[in-house]
Amino acid sequence: MARIVFCEDEEQIRNLIEVAMRSTAHTIEMTENGREALVAIERLAPDIIVTDVAMPEMGGFALADAVHAKPSLQGIPIMFVTASVQRGDVAKFTEHGAAGYLAKPFSPKALREKIDELIAGL
Amino acid sequence: METAEPQTDQLRGVTSNRATRAASLGVAGVVVCLAAFSIFASYATQTQVDRARLSASLLRNYEHATMAIRAAEASELEYLIEPSPEHRVELSESNQAINAAVSEVAARGGKDDARLATDILALHDQYLVASARLVAAMAAGDEVEARRIDEDEGDPFVHAMDDQITAATNGRAADAEAAFVALQNTARWILIESPVVFAIGFGLLFGLWRILEQSHRAARETYREIEQLSRLRSEFVSIVSHEFRTPLTGIQGFSEMMRDEDMTMPQVREYAGDINKDARRLARLITDMLDLDRMESGRMTLNSEPVDLNLIVAETAAQFRLSAADHPIELELDSRLPMLMGDSDRLTQVVTNLVSNAIKYSPSGGAVELRTKRTERTVTLTVRDHGMGIEPDQLEKIFERYSRVQTTETRAISGTGLGLPIVRLIVQLCDGKVWATSEAGQGSVLHVQLPLREAAVAAPLAA
């Protein structure tokens, strides 16, 4: 069982993630932008972070950079879930220390599998 | 989707290419003309200089021949007076000098000179015969016979040669004079004409250079515009792709769970509702894109029917009150507003897009105020929000198709940015205008002004 912080600005996708994760034993925290997510991460010290990239106020890359910059949070794997997965975008994921990425539209099963892979690597 | 801008750019590009080609041909033509003028002037000058030089040279040869003939005549007289061997040698040398001078005329002159030289040499041969007889008579001591030979046989040939040479010399002198006069005229012509010709030529070159420069500037500008349009288009495709993928994620995810997992009927209804919401979002996106395309390509026509703008505003506000509770919607509707002639659906779309825009750009909440006002010839609708406001340099750009397209990760507002471009196109189709005003941090106001085309029936005031 892992603690996972999700960060996604689209309400529909937040709903989908919540429903998709119901069948797992993981504890999830849902946030709407990078700033909220950072607060939740500092509070919960999760095992995994799953974040959208383009969001209001604070995007996924800025969130990843902020997490990597804090010594207490270093080492938490971050997975980007995004609608932009062209060649240049994938290179950016690596630049921002991504442990994995998932392209939208994604299937709930693929999301759970990716999370399981990250947990296995912990 | 096609837009009018690229066609305009292409047309401008074609015109620019034509201007460039014409100006380049013009430059080449002027340069060729100036070069031809210079070559012609040089050739004419050189020809006339050669002609004058030849005439002067031949004139000198003729003068040498005349002097040689006269010298021979003088030598003959001296020999008659004193028939010494020295005078005889002088006489012989004089005859050789005549021969050499006349041969020189033949060698350096033209056909006429050669013919003249032949005639003179023939006379000279006869003169030599007479001269030999004179020398023989003198050697025999018959001075009387020698004088007779000189007067009757030698002198006529000498005079004939002298006459011919003199006539030819005069002719050559006239030729030389004419050549110098022609050269003088040519020099004067070049002196006067060439500054004029070169001034006109350089004036033309300067004018054509300006045209070429403008043409190049236009080409560079067109290239920049095309480049920018291409970049915006690419960004637009990227954001549209993002906007399609978001609802597709819901549709794919919820439908897969309905397919693969056991669930209760309320859950099925809940997921179906989510799928339906995403499907409607996709449909709206496609409708917006198609509407915009139809309007931009001029394929959309508006209905003309009596429309109650106050009612449209009131109904739209009522819908948003349900879906956007954080944003109280306040109405200030002018009861003097008459029924207008217009397209009810499209005006509803205008109001909906404006209110939706106001709500999107007020993420922290705050009231949205809708106001209608009648003036003498127009009807104005204003939508005020208390959101983040619009930067001054963006006030016009927000109505452009690709304006709000952004691919940075901090995407403040969702949507393709098609709402306001659609508003502008509909308002333009109604012969109206739309603009935005904003103060930093004070929110923004979008103004729609429509011409007052009154329908027959007066409008009831909407609640």
Kindly report the nearest CA distance between residue A4 and chain B, in angstroms: 19
Q: Are A52 and A82 in contact (CB under 8 A)?
A: yes
Nearest to B241 among A12, A59, A83 (CB): A83
Q: What is the ipTM of this complex?
A: 0.88
Is B410–A62 a contact, with Cβ atoms under 8 angstroms apart? yes
Is A16–B254 a contact, with Cβ atoms under 8 angstroms apart? yes
The kind and range of the H/E element at B370 are strand B368-374
- Beta A48-51 vs A3-7: how paired, if at all? parallel
Is A13–B249 a contact, with Cβ atoms under 8 angstroms apart? yes
Q: Are B358 and B368 in contact (CB under 8 A)?
A: yes
Is A56–B411 a contact, with Cβ atoms under 8 angstroms apart? yes
Given its phi and psi angles, is residue B431 left (phi above 0), alpha (psi -120 to 50 degrees) or beta? left
Write down the pLDDT at residue B402: 58
Is A16–B250 a contact, with Cβ atoms under 8 angstroms apart? yes
Nearest to B247 among A12, A53, A84 (CB): A12
Write down the pLDDT at residue B312: 95
Nearest to B409 among A12, A19, A60 (CB): A60
| Residues of chain B numbered 349-408 and touching chain A (CB < 8 Å) | 363, 407-408
DSSP-derived 3-state class of residue A102 = strand
Q: Minimal Cα distance from B406: which residue of A?
A: A54
Residues of B in contact with A53 (CB under 8 A): 409
Nearest to A10 among B246, B251, B413 (CB): B246
- Nearest by Cα to B315 from B369, B364, B352, B265: B352
Residues near B275 by beta carbon (within 8 Å), at least 6 away in sequence:
B250, B251, B254, B255
Backbone angles phi, psi at B305, to 5 degrees: -140, 160
3-state SS, one letter per residue, for B205-247: HHHHHHHHHHHHHHHHHHHHHHHHHHHHHHHHHHHHHHHHHHH
| Residues of chain B numbered 187-246 and touching chain A (CB < 8 Å) | 238, 241-242, 245-246
Q: Are B353 and B404 in contact (CB under 8 A)?
A: no
Nearest to B274 among A15, A54, A61 (CB): A15
CA distances from A79 to A9, A94, B68, B84 (A): 15, 10, 120, 137
pTM passes above 0.95: no
Write down the pLDDT at residue B12: 53
Q: Are B44 and B36 in contact (CB under 8 A)?
A: no
For B54-85, b/e burial (b = at least 16 CB within 10 A) is bbeebbbbbebbbebbebbbebbebbbeebee
DSSP-derived 3-state class of residue B24 = helix
Q: Which two tokens stand for residue B234?
A: 């690419």
A54 touches chain B (CB under 8 A): yes
- Nearest by Cα to B413 from B386, B437, B381, B387: B387
Q: What is the pLDDT of residues A71-94, one digit of tens each?
A: 989 889 999 998 876 667 788 898
- What is the rounded radius of gyration, in angstroms, for the C-alpha atoms of chain A? 13
- Residue B301 buriedness (CB in 10 A; 0-12 / 13-18 / 19+): exposed
Low-confidence stretches of chain B (pLDDT beneath 70): 1-17, 363, 402-416, 455-463
Angle between helices B111-139 and B85-108 (to 10 degrees): 170
Q: Are B418 and B427 in contact (CB under 8 A)?
A: no
Is A56–B249 a contact, with Cβ atoms under 8 angstroms apart? no
Q: Are A60 and A80 in contact (CB under 8 A)?
A: yes
Given its phi and psi angles, is residue A107 left (phi above 0), alpha (psi -120 to 50 degrees) or beta? beta
In A1-122, where do the E strands start and end? 3-7, 27-31, 48-51, 78-82, 100-103
Is B414–A9 a contact, with Cβ atoms under 8 angstroms apart? yes
Check residue B404 and report its DSSP letter: T
The kind and range of the H/E element at B368 are strand B368-374
Alpha-helical runs (H) found in A23-100: 34-44, 60-69, 87-95
| Residues of chain B numbered 108-167 and touching chain A (CB < 8 Å) | none
Residue carrying the six token digits 């070049």? B190
Q: Centre a 10 Å sphere on the Cβ of residue A97 and count the other Cβ atoms it contains.
A: 15
> Which of A6, A13, A14, A16 best tests the B interface by mutation, with the highest count of B CBs <10 A?
A16
3-state SS, one letter per residue, for B276-344: HHHHHHHHHHHHHHHHHHHHHCCCCCCCCEEECHHHHHHHHHHHHHHHCCCCCEEEECCCCCCCEEECH
Q: Which two tokens stand for residue A15?
A: 């709903």
Q: Which two tokens stand for residue B94?
A: 């004089």
Residue carrying the six token digits 């003028």? B37
- Nearest by Cα to B346 from B418, B423, B436: B423
Residues near B171 by beta carbon (within 8 Å), at least 6 away in sequence:
none
Low-confidence stretches of chain A (pLDDT beneath 50): none
